Chains A and B, each alone.
Chain A
Amino acid sequence: MTQPDTPSPKSARQKWMAVLARASAQELADGLAALPALPEAEMLRAPETGLVMVRGRAGGDGDAFNLGEMTVTRCAMRLGAHIGHAYIAGRDHAKARLAALLDAALQDTARHDAVMQTIVEPLATAQQEARAVEARKAAATRVDFFTMATMR
């Protein structure tokens, strides 16, 4: 029940972007506040909300089809020499801005480790734990057929 839900292997950047996308604006803001202040960042693309058409596959593994849209907010920020991008589900502009800023900071080798340790790793652990709880609740509803035990 805890299979990875995206293809692996993933680059480090893909992994941290996924963690940031799943966090709340509050969690990102709290994490940022715990870090040494970042220098002034330049807004390259102000947060903008739009739609992404979500696709499925016929029969689960056949031709792609358009399932329906979802709201997505994107943002791009420049921090020094690095450009951070965010595409996140939903319409939270503050969260998109924070995620883009952190993506830029994470690309900066001077800041990378601190941001990983203070923000990304704890969030990844919390997200993993939330999934593990869900998986354990699902496991509690797995049916044990009495006849199965004797058939095995």
Chain B
Amino acid sequence: MYVAVKGGEKAISAAHAWLDETRRGDTALPELTVAQIEQQMSLAVDRVMAEGSCHDRFLAALAIKQAKGDLIEAAFLLRAYRTTLPRFGASLPLETNRMRLRRRISATYKDLPGGQVLGPTFDYTHRLLDFALAAEGREASAAPEAPTDAPDVPRVTEILVREGLMQREALGEAEPGDLTREPLSFPAPRPLRLQNLARGDEGFLLALGYSTQRGYGNAHPFVGEIRVGHIGVEIAPAELGFAINIGDIGITECQMVNQFKGSRTEPAQFTRGYGLVFGHGERRAMSMALVDRGLRSRELGEEADAPAQQEEFVLYHSDNIEATGFVEHLKLPHYVDFQSELENLRTIRRAAEAELREAAE
């Protein structure tokens, strides 16, 4: 039986008022400002911009405040906001060899042009809780400076390409597909896969990337290069007829170098997995690069039976906004669905009991 129900408005309104109160927490403490979140929770902001697929530090920080620090909820808020804005166009592709570097490391060459630049990193910290941070009002130490000779910083992949040991990337003029405009179809070309991964859930990408290292996908990756820094974004508006720089964004890039046994047409060589993300997100860029390489298995003629190589599985489950929507919708009223399940089960039971009685008679 179908019964239309209404109600709950008062309860919902009270629940949201309580949410508001708990968001604020103890009013004896000062309220967090959006600017504080933007400055002091900068990696959370970066993650929300990446998964929300919208670069705007203030909006991401506001979303984090509104979501009480739930980063998936914050990314959801950012995605919802972006749907209210018109699209002016697309940028020229970022030429990441021109980015201003804060950090640049390679795990494949110790002594490479441009050197190993550590930048502001958690690496080599002891992961001991620093109780000095609990004492507020402490001055942060100033970062030391050293003279810079503006060295040339070539890509590690370019070094391998020049030696003939790595495939050069395909370079076409085709307009890349856009997930936000057309639904995914399979097989998905690499640009679409990269767009999907760039906004994918960090935990999902991390777990899949990890699985390829542990044997589900036969990957033997090396970090050719990680670059963290800023780059100017350029667009070419029709009314101007030339490209203009609209401002800087932070990005992280990872070039993962993988072995490739060769095929009938290709000699044995290195291939790359690529990761590029908004903000400072090395774990995310590395995971993306591992999964990108996994998803290239089929086009490279390799076996593709591991989870990270299954294009449909990976691309359909990477998006945490879609995933959380479908998982969390289970909380919403399913009274009618469940009523029919109950009816169903009772009917089956009655039939089985009737059969038993007949058999006994």
Contact = CB atoms under 8 A, between A and B. Distances in A.
A63 B85 CA distance: 27
B174 interface: yes
B195 A65 contact: yes
A1, A67, A71, A74: most-surrounded residue (chain B CB, <10 A): A67
Contact of A66 (B59, B143, B145, B179): B179
A63 to B, nearest CB: 5
Interface residues of B, number: 91
Nearest to A56: B276
B215 interface: no
B92 to A, nearest CB: 7
B242 interface: yes
Contacts of A30: none
Nearest to A92: B58
Q: Is the interface of A mostly helix, strand, loop or mixed?
A: mixed
Interface in A18-66: 18, 21-22, 48-66
Contact of A52 (B90, B93, B115): B90
A85 interface: yes
A87 B101 contact: no
Contact of B82 (A51, A142, A143): A51
Contact of A135 (B85, B99, B148, B232): B148
Interface string B169-213: 111101111111000000000111011001100000000000000
A68 B55 contact: yes
B82 A69 contact: yes
Contacts of B151: 1
Interface string B205-247: 0000000000000000000000000111111010110111111
B334 interface: no
A109 interface: no
B345 interface: no
B244 A69 contact: no
A74 B291 CA distance: 37
3 smallest beta-carbon distances between A and B, as pairs: A62-B169, A89-B247, A65-B191
